Every structure is written in C-alpha cells, then in structure tokens.
Structure 1
Amino acid sequence: MSDPPKENANLTAAGGRFSRRSFVAGVAGVACAAGLGRIAGGRESTPQSTAPYGVPIVSLSGMPGFDPMRDPAMETAWLGTLTHEAALRLDASGSIRSGVVIDWNVSADGLRVDLRVRPDALFSDGMLVTAGDVAASLERCRSMASNAGSGPWDRITGIEAIDGGTVRLSLVGPDVTLMASLTSARALIVPSRWAERPWGDTPDQLPPGSGPFMVTSIEDRRITLSRHPAYRQVGRPYLAGLVVAASSETLPRTTELVTGAVDVVIDVPLLDIPTLRDDPNLTLAGGPANRLCLLSVNLRAGPLRDRRPRALISSAIDRAAVLDAAVASEGEPATGLFPAVSWVQGGIELEAARRSPDDVRAELSADGHVAGLGLRLIADERDSSIANACVLLQEQLARAGIAVTLDLLDTERLARVSREEPWDLLAMYSDFWRDPDELVRPLLHARGQLNLGQYTSDRVSSLIDLAITTRNPRQRAQLYRVIQQIARTEVPLIPLFFPAYYDAMTTRIGPYDAYPPVSALAMRQVRMEPPDQSPPG
C-alpha cells in the first residue's frame, strides 16, 4: 500500500476533495466523512479586535457526560471535541486533516501505520502532548471498544510509541477505514496518566485536553468553559469562553433561541426548522446528512422470518409522507442504505418498489395471510421524530391489512425487550458515518452490534470484510452497492429516510461553518459581536 495523501485528502487509497454536498457523499473514493451536505446560512463577520470576546450560551438537548468512550450520547461526543482533540479531524468540507497527529505513513503491505505527533501541541495543564500520550489514549479506545461492530479497533494488534514523536499501529490486515476512525469524537487524546484512571464529573477529576476550551465549572446543568490559552492555533478560539446549557426537554430550546435566552442550539429539532428558517435574527448551519432512519426486522421468530411479507411491508410504505410526519420533510426518503449523492451511489437514485394498499392486502391474502398480519413495533420513546414516524407507519400499514401494535419504551426497557421479548419491527437511527463500513458492519454483519434481528448472510459478511481491504475506490463502491442490493432483496431491514442536521444561532454568532456531526469545531473560529449599542433612530 502506498502512502496516503496528506492533509486535505482521503487518507486511505484514493484521494479526493469534498464538495459542499460531500458531507453526505463521503470522501470521493473512500468514504471518510459523515454529516452535512451543504452549509445553509452563515454570514461574513466584520473585522474585529483580536482580543477574545463573548461567552455565548450553547444549548444541548441533554446533560453531556465527560467520557465519550463510556457515554455514547451525542452531547458527550460534542462536548469532548470542545476540550480535546482526536488524532485526526474532519474539517468543514469533510476532508480529513491533522489533529494531534500531523502526518502518517502506511507500509507497503498495509499492516503498519506510523503516526507522527504534532511537536507543539500542549494540554491545558501546560504539558506537551507526546507519542506516549497518543499511544496510551488509542490503546484505551481499543480496549474499551466492543468487539461486535467496533470497526478497526478490533483489527489493531498493537499500539506503541516507537520514539518521542511517533506512534506505530500494527494491524491484522490492511484496513482502508482506519484513518476515518481516528477522526472519531470518541477517540480523544488525553495524558497517558489518565488513560487507565477513572474520570469524574468535576473539573479537577477530568483529564486535561489539547482542544480549544477547558472546563472551569459544572453546576445546575450548566458547564462553563474558558479558552485554552496555549491552544495550538494561535489566536483561537476568538471567544472568551462558553456556557453549555443542558435542557431536559426538546421544545423549549428553540423557544429560548428565538427569545434570546440562548445563543446557539446544537442539533435543532427538525420539526422547528421551517419556523427558524424564516426568522431574520437567526442563522441555520447544516443540511442533508447520511444518518439513516430504518426499521430493523426480527428474523428470529414470527411471521417476518419469511422474506415475502418483509418485502410487502417495505413496498406499502409511503416514505415521503413518513419523512414529512417525522421531521417536516427536512431530509430525503431512503430506498437504500446510502444517499444518492454519496460516493457509493454516485448520484444514482434507487427506485422504490411501491405497491398500493389494496395490492399488498391481496398479495398477503394470496400468501395465506387472509386475516392480514399482526405485528409489534417497538421504538425509543425519547425521540419525537421516531414516534411520529411510527404513528404514521401504523396508519399506512393498517390500510394494507397489517395491524401494528406500537410500544414506545424507555431506553433500558427497549434494550431488554429487543433481546428477550417477541417483537417484529424496531424503529431506530443509525449513527452518522465517516466511512460506509461504519453503517453496514453494525447493521448487516453477522457480528454487527446493531444487527438486532440476527440477520446472517455469509455472503454479506464476507463482502463487508472484503471492502475494508479494497484500495480501489470504484471497486469498493461496487462492493457496497452489491451489499445494498442484497439487503434490498432479502429485506433484513427497511430504510425509511435520511434526516437532515442543523445547528442554529443568533446572527451575533458567526461565521459558523457546518462540520460533519458530531463536532464542536465551529466554536474554535466563531466570533460574537457585541450587542448593538447605537442610539435609536
């Protein structure tokens, strides 16, 4: 394997820069990014003093934790990118850039990757970031990642600091997804002494980071951060600090933004986007994303063990209507695993195999389901978009002779029911992905962490494993299209839609670049304008 191109290109086999829509598309040739398709909003900032100014209030939907490897919540990953850096990072265009690691080399056989650590990065306690810190942090990620669906972490056989500035990764086999994984908001670099000790929830119990901000206080569901004075990008961040406010409810967050109680809302509820878009005092940053809303199908027991009713259910769904009910049409209907603009699809739209409710009812009857089907649909009660989608799915399927009982469950019970009780369909979201392996492996591999219906296909699992070793981007895209076609035929899951993603902020905050979720990197470079103090008239 030749050395990958550096800095502004794909870090695996085939370079490629991102267009504005490439947050959805992935790095041309080897999907390395996830998230947004365009930057909507964002305005030019007028020249200002270089002195840090402003402490905006940023609203999250819940209280974040402080260790992204232990807490999978989006809020925790977002906060982590404020205070820490990963080995590599995604920029606003979706290209992989240097983070704590400034350069890398891949051996000819693809079994060894050498990472060169930035020589001038400092933790917030003033200590230099060393190769030993990077190695210990990556080893922590490897040891904490679960084997099922863990991506490249379970394919790394060794991590060592071979000198003061170089970390060597040894792999069981070539893996073109590795560099994308090193941009993860969960793979943050901490001092080596913190790699094995527990983290707490007070500032003195948290590891120093090399990111642009550092935590100074935590109280009353608010986290106050100040700027890291020795951050490696001179002069940044431009803000004097941040206050992160955690909401226990979703709806008031946008109300608080409109009324000026907060300055930024991260991951805006999509049902509120049409209203916010019309407000001249607000800016939206975001657009199409590659996270997939889907129905996982239980293949272990019940009527859906047979492929035929699964295909009929999929054909009875009006996905555009589900998209509208769930997220006010802020997104795209999904007829496959990948958005049409992804590098896997190359702009090719897949046709939906639609049947009318009467046709579905007739075919179910012809297949022996004269009285129709009775199914149990389960979903997480916390997500209103999932709940809205499920209610409409009940109505659509009822017209086709499929009676669906909907159970909205808390997170703990949902996990238990999915393992131990009968169910037929489970509504869920995938994660945002940087590489398509991060989507297909958890959902479709025999050992996939999100393969809740226990789909088993030796062919699909072998193609997934082959794709991560395939350097040619066209060949790799073809492998994923074959996997997608098998999934469309065998229907182990039913794609519904790709929701968009937006952050929103007052026009005093900017310029705000839309980074691939989940990331707080925009906060490094935004400025906050002082309030208008000009006399009236």
Structure 2
Amino acid sequence: MLRRLAAALLSVLLVVLAPVAAQAFVWARSSDALTLDPHVANEGPTVALIQNIYEGLTERDRAGRLGPLLAVSWRMLPEEPTVWEFKLRGGVTFQDGSRFSADDVVFSYRRAKQPNSGFSDYFASVVAIEKVDDLTVRIRTRGPNPAFVENTPAIFIMSKAWSERNGAAQIPDNATTDANFANAHANGTGAFVLVSRQPHVRTELRRNEAYWNRGHVALGIANLTYRPIPRASARVAELLSGAVDFLQDVPIQDLPRLRAQSGLTVTSGVENRTIFLGFDVASQAPRGTEAGGRNPFADLRVRRAMNIAIDRDQIQRVVMRGEALPSGIIIPPLVNGWTGELDTPPPFAPARARQLLAEAGYPEGFATTLYCPNDRYVYGEETCRALVLMLGRVGIRVKLVAQPQAEQSSALRRTPGPDLFLAGWGSPTYDSEQVFSSLYHSRDGQRGAYNATGYSDLQADEMIGKLSSEIDGGRRDALIARLWQKLRGDLIYLPLYHQMLSYAMKEAYDIPVDVSNMPKLKLVAAPTR
C-alpha cells in the first residue's frame, strides 16, 4: 500500500516538473505575411511565417550559419564544376502524408524560377534543374557558380502533386489580385501545419505531430497563432496583458519599460538588414515630383546633396534611441563584401548640400513625394518624418505618404517605382552578389526584381554576371570590392543605418534574436509549470 502511494505521489511530481506543450502560443508583430505562396514574395514577414510550414534544402541557424535540412549533402561536381549535386533526405513526408522526393525539388525550383517569382534573381545563372534519381537533384549553371548553395535556404519546397492537383503549379501574374490556391492554403514538410488564415487578422497553425525532424528540435509549441498588430502601443498592451507570448517588432520607446517588467524577457542583437532611401532615377519626370519638368534624381549632384543633408547621427540618437548603427553602404557587417571603409557614412554638410543643389539647377530646391512603409521596420515612419525635416532644411520639400508594407512592396515591383522611397534589405545569402542581383542589376525578367530605381548600367550588369561564375575566391572578392566602389560612387541608394532588433516574450520562453529576423519557432521549448 505504501509502495503504491509513493509511486502515485512520484507520478504526480513528475507530471508537475515535466515540460508541458504550450497550448496557445501567440506570436505578434507589426505586419502580416503578404501570402502563403512560398515563391511569390521575397519579403521578411512573409518568409518568417512561411518557414514554419515549408522548408528548403538547407537552412541557416540563428547566427546565420548554413546547414542541411531537406538535403543531407551537396557538392560541385569536380569533373563538371557547372553542376551542383544535392543528395536529399529520405523518409520525409509532406503534411498531407505524401512522400517527399526529387520530383518535388525539381518542380519547386522550376516554379521559383518563373519570371514573376519573388525569387527569380536566385536562378539568374541556372540553365537546368534535373532529377538524377528519387533522392538526387542536379542544378546546372551557365558557368561555375560557387555561391549557388547560399541561395537554397530561401527556396521552399512544395509538393508537386498537391500543387498540380489544386491549380497552383504556376505563379499568378499578379499574386495580389490573381492569387491561386497556394495563397491561402499550404502543404509543406515543416514543423507546423496550417489550420486557418484570416489575412491581416490572424493565422492559426498547429504542431506537425508527424514532423520528420521532431526528435532533433524542441517543438514545444502545440498551437501557434500569428497576429499582425500594426499599432505599436496595441502590441505592447497585448504583451503586458498576457494575451501575447512573443512580440517580434518591439517599439524602441518601450524597451526600457519591458526590460524592467517582471515576468518578461527581452533579447537584443544586430539584424542582417540595412535601411536606406532609393530614387526613381530613370523616369523623365517622376509623377510625384515638381522640379520644372525634370527628374532631379537623375542628377548625381542631387543625390550627393541629399546624402549629406541627412544627419545619421541624429537619426541614431534621437529617432532610433541608440538602437541603430549609421551606415555608408547597404549591407551590414555580416555580409561578404562589407568593409569598414565602405561603411563609413558621409559627413553631415547641409551648406554643401544646398550648394550642390544650386549647381544642379535647383537653387530654390524642388518638391517630391517620399513613400514609406508604416508597419514594417523598427521606427520606419518616424525615420521618414525625420528625413522630411532634414531634406526640407536644404530646400527639398517632401510630402510623406506612409502606407502598409503590402502596398509598398507592390509598388517596388512596378516600373517605374516610387519617386523616393524608404526600404530595407537583408541578404539571405550573406553575400553581396544577392544584393547586386536584386537591387542594382537591370530588370531583365530574372535579375533586378527589386530594382525599383530604374538604374541600368551595362558595366555593372556585366560585372554582376561575371561574379556569379567566378570560382576563384580571391578574384571573386576583388570583383565584389570593385563593384561596391562603382555602385557606392553612383549613389543609387542612400544608406541610413543597420537595424538592430529586440524581441520581448513571457519569461517562460527563451527566444534569442535571429540575425535574419526569422525566429525559428520549432526550436522553442515548452515552458515548465
């Protein structure tokens, strides 16, 4: 009898001390994903949500290091250096129970290569995607491309059969207005399964109990709710009330209070992202600019004037409250190609800025429109308001249009793009080639997908093309350095600052900052009672 009582008491004690799955983990941030289609939008909040459902051949850890996922190994064939070979993981199933194989990889890569994909830039050098056997795929490039594997974490794998069965094999011409089945439905190999989606309201996921990697990740969240809450004060109020477990976009002004709040934990770190201004440099007369029928942004003197009219130290100190690093280049120190010399911001020189504007034929300045996302970046709209004042002091009269990231992202994919815009970019490959290919190369149906400036330079395009096939590391780094010197001089973008990140959460959870701002919630352990 005593033995049975002791055993019962021990059983109760073990239940009390054992980790328990979180039954209602609520993840909140400022903006929603644009879609659930994994190949449409190369945009931060979209990818951050989708990565919980879909997976790539490889993935990056919280520090940005590349590792295996649906592929167990990869290599450039020594006898044929234009071919990458990937050995795939066996025993993996999609969430509908169907088996993952090379057919799905070939289908997904060909789909993501379509011109209207947000990831077509990643395939600019790819000429063929071939199945060797059920667990082997080969990617053939125009020339040797040693950096191609760095693209693979971003290309998520869809089920070929599921996509074709549901009419989702092709990406719509306009994914916003012509969304297909994959826009609001999902079937990946990842740690969470889609339950329901209400755009701009909430997305409900549940743990994938049949997840192939379950024994190697914490997977402590049973039910996951993703809630976009655009208003900063509302996000914080929901966290403080206990309605939110994890807050990703923490307002800077609330950091001291949240760090001191009992029952909460705040983690901080540098993000792989730079915030910058871009221009329409190609239109004859941008539609939202009044400058005597001319395009002032096409004149390098105007771009230089604007660059030195910006007081980056004030933005860091006053607007960002120290949570930013002033920049002179649009890649952070984490990315290959960065140097301290390139990243030195120009001196603040408003008098010289006014002189340059006069030399360019604008002694009285001009009027223009700045388009700014108001639900995407940490203090993005506040930064734009500060820029309006700074540019106004040198004679550039700026009308601010603050809009949701969904509208901003759509505008950046059009030609011509906005007159003047604020944007942010992080290189998912941690290499400058991806930035060159996406933001600087001429739009040609593959490269230049996010080059909203209209910038088109034959020499730059040729150098970027050579970069993708340069196999010698030393020559490749030298070519990257030459490209940055040229592009930094052309001043197509005005770097502002490298963004820093903070996450806030209930103290029962431990979620370190992910340098790509892609928190991997499969790694979150269940809290203890």
Instruction: Judge conservation of contact 1:325–1:389 (CA < 8 Å) in 2.
Output: no
Deviation at 1:117, TM superposition (A): 0.7
Deviation at 1:321, TM superposition (A): 1.8
How does 1:238-387 map onto structure 2 within 5 Å?
238-251=219-232, 252-300=234-282, 301=284, 302-324=295-317, 326-340=319-333, 342-348=335-341, 350-365=343-358, 368-383=361-376, 385-387=379-381
Deviation at 1:86, TM superposition (A): 0.9
How does 1:126-525 map onto structure 2 within 5 Å?
126-143=97-114, 145-146=116-117, 150-184=120-154, 187-196=155-164, 197-198=166-167, 206-218=185-197, 221-234=202-215, 236-251=217-232, 252-300=234-282, 301=284, 302-324=295-317, 326-340=319-333, 342-348=335-341, 350-365=343-358, 368-383=361-376, 385-409=379-403, 412=407, 424-434=419-429, 435-447=431-443, 448-510=448-510, 512-521=511-520, 523-525=521-523
Q: Distance in 1 between matches of 2:259 and 2:180?
A: 36
Q: Distance in 1 between matches of 2:411 and 2:101?
A: 43
Q: Tell me, what secondary structure is at the counterpart of 1:440?
A: helix
Give CA-to-partner distance per residue, 1:427-465, whole Å, 9 cap, x none: 222244323222222221122223222212222222222
Cα distance change on mapping 1:278 and 1:344 into 2, 3 Å: farther
Question: Please, which of 81, 85, 88 is the counterpart of residue 110 of structure 1?
Answer: 81
Deviation at 1:399, TM superposition (A): 2.2
Cα distance change on mapping 1:232 and 1:322 into 2, 3 Å: same
Deviation at 1:85, TM superposition (A): 1.6
What TM-score does the superposition give when structure 1 sets the normalisation length?
A: 0.79
Q: Does 1:57 align with 2:26?
A: yes
Q: Tell me, what secondary structure is at the counterpart of 1:138?
A: helix
Instruction: Judge conservation of contact 1:61–1:248 (CA < 8 Å) in 2.
Output: yes
Deviation at 1:239, TM superposition (A): 1.6
After the TM superposition, which of the residue ranges 467-476 and 307-316 deviates more from structure 2?
A: 467-476
Q: Tell me, what secondary structure is at the counterpart of 2:194?
A: strand
Instruction: Judge conservation of contact 1:212–1:237 (CA < 8 Å) in 2.
Output: no
Alignment match, 2:51:
81
After the TM superposition, which of the residue ranges 63-72 and 419-428 deviates more from structure 2?
A: 419-428
Which residue identity is paired with 1:246?
R
Cα distance change on mapping 1:361 and 1:150 into 2, 3 Å: same
After the TM superposition, which of the residue ranges 485-494 and 335-344 deviates more from structure 2?
A: 335-344
Instruction: Judge conservation of contact 2:221–2:522 (CA < 8 Å) in 1.
Output: no
Which residue identity is paired with 1:296?
G
What TM-score does the superposition give when structure 2 sets the normalisation length?
A: 0.80
Aligned length: 480
Alignment match, 1:22:
none
Which residue identity is paired with 1:135?
V
Q: Distance in 2 between matches of 1:304 and 1:62?
A: 30
Cα distance change on mapping 1:381 and 1:513 into 2, 3 Å: closer
Which residue identity is paired with 1:257?
L
Instruction: Judge conservation of contact 2:19–2:527 (CA < 8 Å) in 1.
Output: no
Cα distance change on mapping 1:132 and 1:285 into 2, 3 Å: farther
Q: Distance in 2 between matches of 1:351 and 1:307?
A: 19
Which residue identity is paired with 2:504?
A
Deviation at 1:326, TM superposition (A): 4.8
Cα distance change on mapping 1:376 and 1:51 into 2, 3 Å: closer
After the TM superposition, which of the residue ranges 288-297 and 121-130 deviates more from structure 2?
A: 121-130
Alignment match, 1:26:
none
Cα distance change on mapping 1:78 and 1:335 into 2, 3 Å: same
After the TM superposition, which of the residue ranges 79-88 and 236-245 deviates more from structure 2?
A: 236-245
Cα distance change on mapping 1:225 and 1:326 into 2, 3 Å: farther
Deviation at 1:54, TM superposition (A): 4.5
Alignment match, 1:528:
526
Q: Tell me, what secondary structure is at the counterpart of 2:113?
A: helix
Alignment match, 1:124:
95
Give CA-to-partner distance per residue, 1:307-333, whole Å, 9 cap, x none: 112112111211122234554332211
After the TM superposition, which of the residue ranges 458-467 and 414-423 deviates more from structure 2?
A: 414-423
Q: Distance in 1 between matches of 2:401 and 2:112?
A: 35
* Fraction of identical pairs, as percent: 22
Cα distance change on mapping 1:498 and 1:443 into 2, 3 Å: same
Q: Distance in 2 between matches of 1:137 and 1:286?
A: 35
Q: Distance in 1 between matches of 2:336 and 2:55?
A: 27
Q: Distance in 2 between matches of 1:370 and 1:515?
A: 46
Instruction: Judge conservation of contact 2:39–2:117 (CA < 8 Å) in 1.
Output: no
Cα distance change on mapping 1:478 and 1:289 into 2, 3 Å: farther
Q: Distance in 1 between matches of 2:138 and 2:104?
A: 13
Q: Distance in 2 between matches of 1:515 and 1:458?
A: 37
Q: Distance in 1 between matches of 2:382 and 2:474?
A: 38
Deviation at 1:364, TM superposition (A): 3.4
Q: Distance in 1 between matches of 2:436 and 2:251?
A: 26
Q: Distance in 2 between matches of 1:485 and 1:93?
A: 28
Give CA-to-partner distance per residue, 1:211-255, whole Å, 9 cap, x none: 222234556724041242343241644425122132342322222
Instruction: Judge conservation of contact 1:250–1:269 (CA < 8 Å) in 2.
Output: no
Deviation at 1:355, TM superposition (A): 4.5
Deviation at 1:423, TM superposition (A): 6.4
Q: Distance in 2 between matches of 1:363 and 1:224?
A: 55
Deviation at 1:518, TM superposition (A): 4.9
Deviation at 1:424, TM superposition (A): 4.4
Deviation at 1:291, TM superposition (A): 1.6
Q: Structure 1: which 5+ runs fail to align?
A: 1-46, 532-537
Instruction: Judge conservation of contact 1:92–1:516 (CA < 8 Å) in 2.
Output: yes
Instruction: Judge conservation of contact 1:293–1:499 (CA < 8 Å) in 2.
Output: yes
Cα distance change on mapping 1:163 and 1:484 into 2, 3 Å: same
Which residue identity is paired with 1:333?
P
Q: Distance in 2 between matches of 1:161 and 1:271?
A: 52
- CA-based RMSD of the aligned residues comes to 3.3
Q: Distance in 1 between matches of 2:473 and 2:345?
A: 26
Q: Tell me, what secondary structure is at the counterpart of 1:289?
A: strand
Instruction: Judge conservation of contact 1:293–1:496 (CA < 8 Å) in 2.
Output: yes
Q: Distance in 2 between matches of 1:249 and 1:177?
A: 37
Q: Structure 2: which 5+ runs fail to align?
A: 1-15, 169-178, 285-294
Q: Tell me, what secondary structure is at the counterpart of 2:380?
A: helix
Q: Distance in 2 between matches of 1:320 and 1:235?
A: 44
Instruction: Judge conservation of contact 2:204–2:226 (CA < 8 Å) in 1.
Output: yes
Q: Distance in 2 between matches of 1:201 and 1:214?
A: 19
Cα distance change on mapping 1:361 and 1:160 into 2, 3 Å: closer
After the TM superposition, which of the residue ranges 425-434 and 86-95 deviates more from structure 2?
A: 425-434
Q: Distance in 2 between matches of 1:517 and 1:486?
A: 27
